[in-house]
């Protein structure tokens, strides 16, 4: 069997689970792009692919991850997977999905490309299934990396073939989302994805920033764990840079030298200081 996951960090825990249950042992393939974010219109066509690549180049600019764009080649990953399935009629695919928009949008992007292999493609969706954490308590994981390797044996029971109906309906749902072409896609429950615009996280960014000057790394350390919908630090920083350009956030430091010494301040706080100064003069 071939396992498909949507986070490189999942590889380690899944490989460890093979030591607990050797019947699960198989090749692990990672779909690396984050389809929760960015343009998706005409995503399977050259112009759509190039538009998405150009957007990611803009987001990754001036970040520690600027070189990562070159290692994402999911189109070739799917091409090689389909070749593997064609050459071995007994091969099956297991798609692992946590209850989060990153995994679910990855599933949507992948599914219609595997429609011809109906009956050989399985899904394991950890949707509202309780697990035991390291402290022995019950919790509902949203990400596969939250599960202990020994618990994957339990997760295996979720494995089921993707139905013919799903192969028909889910690609239509993905096409609708692609045509909407929102910059952010969130999960509302089940497999229901909703499009949002690029400002979706702005309020949480500004609320965390407050009125005091804050270094960018500290802001990220405070903000990311609190986000109601999890996303990457690089997208958050891109939104911060966009708000700096729009005059909504003040920025000090040289972005060319990295994030470490960037200092940020909400312009509302700056305006408040200016008003106080004017009042003092009067």
Quickly list H helices, 31-116: 46-60, 74-87, 101-111
- CA pair distance 104, 144, nearest whole angstrom: 12
Give the closest residue to 194 by CA, choosing from 206, 182, 184, 186: 186
Q: What are phi and psi of 38, to 5 degrees?
A: 90, 170
Task: Determine the pLDDT at residue 274.
Answer: 39
pTM beyond cutoff 0.75: yes
- The residues of the chain scoring below 70 in pLDDT are 269-282
- Whole-number pLDDT of residue 54: 95
Q: Give the model's pLDDT for residue 137.
A: 87
- Provide the pLDDT for residue 263: 96
> Domain locations in the chain?
2-178, 202-281
- Cα(93)–Cα(26) distance, rounded to whole angstroms? 10
- What local confidence, expressed as pLDDT, does residue 134 receive? 81
Q: Given this structure, which CATH class describes domain 2-178?
A: alpha beta
Burial class (CB in 10 A: 0-12, 13-18, 19+), 185: buried
Q: What's the residue count for the chain?
A: 282
Q: Which CATH class is domain 202-281?
A: mainly alpha
Per-residue confidence (pLDDT) for residue 124, from 0 to 100: 95
């Amino acid at each position: 069997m071939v396992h498909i996951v949507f986070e490189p960090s999942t590889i380690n825990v899944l490989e460890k689970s093979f030591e607990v249950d050797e019947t699960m042992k198989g090749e692990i393939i990672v779909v690396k792009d984050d389809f929760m974010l960015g343009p998706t219109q005409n995503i399977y066509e050259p112009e759509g692919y190039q538009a998405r690549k150009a957007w990611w180049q803009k987001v990754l600019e001036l970040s520690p991850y600027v070189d990562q764009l070159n290692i994402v080649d999911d189109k070739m990953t799917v091409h090689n997977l389909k070749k593997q399935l064609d050459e071995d009629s007994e091969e099956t695919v297991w798609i692992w999905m946590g209850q989060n928009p990153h995994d679910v949008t990855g599933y949507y992007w992948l599914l219609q490309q595997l429609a011809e292999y109906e009956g050989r493609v399985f899904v394991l969706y950890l949707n509202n299934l309780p697990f035991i954490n390291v402290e022995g308590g019950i919790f509902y994981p949203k990400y596969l990396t939250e599960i202990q390797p020994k618990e994957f044996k339990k997760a295996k029971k979720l494995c089921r073939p993707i139905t013919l109906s799903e192969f028909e309906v889910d690609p239509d749902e993905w096409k609708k989302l692609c045509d909407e072409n929102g910059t952010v896609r969130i999960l509302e429950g089940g497999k229901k994805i909703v499009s949002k615009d690029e400002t979706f996280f702005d309020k949480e960014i500004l609320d965390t920033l407050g009125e005091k000057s804050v270094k960018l790394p500290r802001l990220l350390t405070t903000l990311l764990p609190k986000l109601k919908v999890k996303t990457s630090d690089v997208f958050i920083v891109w939104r911060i840079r966009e708000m700096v350009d729009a005059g909504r956030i003040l920025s000090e430091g040289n972005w060319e030298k990295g994030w470490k010494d960037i200092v940020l301040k909400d312009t509302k706080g700056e305006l408040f200081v200016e008003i106080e100064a004017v009042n003092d003069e009067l």
